[in-house]
């Protein structure tokens, strides 16, 4: 994640979760389903609203 964040990422922090939360709030502003889903033990994925 050095290329993404510009520093060595500490997995003990919740920086990634905070920014995913910001994105979820912005992308689901129309009260629809959240387009970002958590995939346990893997990360996150974007889900199409057409699915």
Q: pLDDT tens digits, residue range 1-28?
A: 567 767 776 777 888 899 999 998 888 8
More confident residue, 38 or 2: 38
Residue 11 within any structural domain of the chain:
yes
- 50 has a pLDDT exceeding 80: no
Per-residue confidence (pLDDT) for residue 2, from 0 to 100: 67
Per-residue confidence (pLDDT) for residue 5, from 0 to 100: 65
Residue 51 within any structural domain of the chain:
no
Taking the complete model, does pTM exceed 0.75, yes or no? Answer: no
- Domain count across the chain: 1
Whose CA is closest to 35, among 20, 46, 23, 51?
A: 46
Residue 25 within any structural domain of the chain:
yes
Which domain covers residue 25, as residue numbers?
2-46
């Amino acid at each position: 994640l050095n290329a993404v964040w510009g520093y060595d990422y500490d997995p003990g922090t919740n920086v990634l979760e905070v920014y995913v939360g910001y994105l979820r709030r912005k992308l689901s502003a129309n009260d629809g389903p959240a387009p970002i889903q958590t995939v346990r033990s893997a990360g996150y994925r974007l889900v199409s609203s057409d699915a």
